[in-house]
Every structure is written in C-alpha cells, then in structure tokens.
Amino acid sequence: MNYKTCYVCKKVKEMDKFVKHKLSVGGRANICKECKNRYIREYRRSNIEKYNNRYRNTEKYLEQQRVGQRKYNAENPKKIEAHRLTKKVGTKKVICAVCGGVENLEYHHSDYDKPLEVIILCRDCHRKAHNAKTN
C-alpha cells in the first residue's frame, strides 16, 4: 500500500485516506479527507449566507417548502386552527408565565382541543415544556 503525507496535518496516511484528484500524483490530492472535510465545514460556517441564499432561491427548495407545509397542515389541523385563533383573538404577550422573561415570547397550547387556552412562555421555557411532554 502506498503512503502520502498530508500538507495540513503533516501525518503520513494511506493513499485511500486522501481525496481523489486526477491531476495530482497518484490520482490523490495532498490533503487528507479528514482535513478537507474540516476545511469545508469551517468555510461553509463562515460563509453561511452565501450557501443559504444559493439554495433558498431555487425553485426546487421553494417547492419542497410548499410540499412540506401542505403535509404539516394536513397532519396537524388542530394546531393550525389553534394558532389561527390565537392570532385572531390577539392575546397580548407580556411576560413568561414560568420565568418572568419579557423577550422572545411565544404561545403554548397544552391542549389543541382548547385552542384559546394558551400559556405565554419565553422561547426557552416553551422548548422545555415541549421536551418534557415528549420525554
């Protein structure tokens, strides 16, 4: 088996641990797969808007969103109606019922059969309430 040194991590590794590159010696680049993947992750994180905008402006993405929304609406008619009624009634979001926070307030429906019975929770307390329900 042939070996090669990665120019990033400086480790000697087997050739199959390197990314393919037809112009390089031996058909493999001089960067190992591990380092290449780390570089790609870091680059995408630092350029997240570029990647999000590139994909989100495609018709394929928009169609997936429409299909997903229709599916969610069909599977959760009580939730949709509860959210619609809550907006229509216009309950004022003032303070979280659990921690007393005043930012990122959301409506929590403990029972979707009673759509107007809502508890006002901050985002963190709302997540905790749903996690407690599922666990």
How many percent of the chain have pLDDT more than 70? 93
One-letter amino acid of 52: N
Other CB atoms within a 10 A radius of the CB of residue 98 amount to: 16
Q: What is the pLDDT of residue 105?
A: 83
Q: Measured between alpha carbons, how far is 43 from 35 in angstroms, rounded to an integer?
A: 12
pTM of the entire predicted model: 0.45
Q: What is the pLDDT of residue 119?
A: 81
Any long-range contacts for 3-11 (C-beta under 8 Å, 24+ apart)?
A: 4/28, 4/30, 5/30, 6/30, 6/31, 6/32, 6/35, 7/31, 8/32, 8/35, 8/39, 9/34, 9/35
Q: Measured between alpha carbons, how far is 85 from 114 in angstroms, rounded to an integer?
A: 10
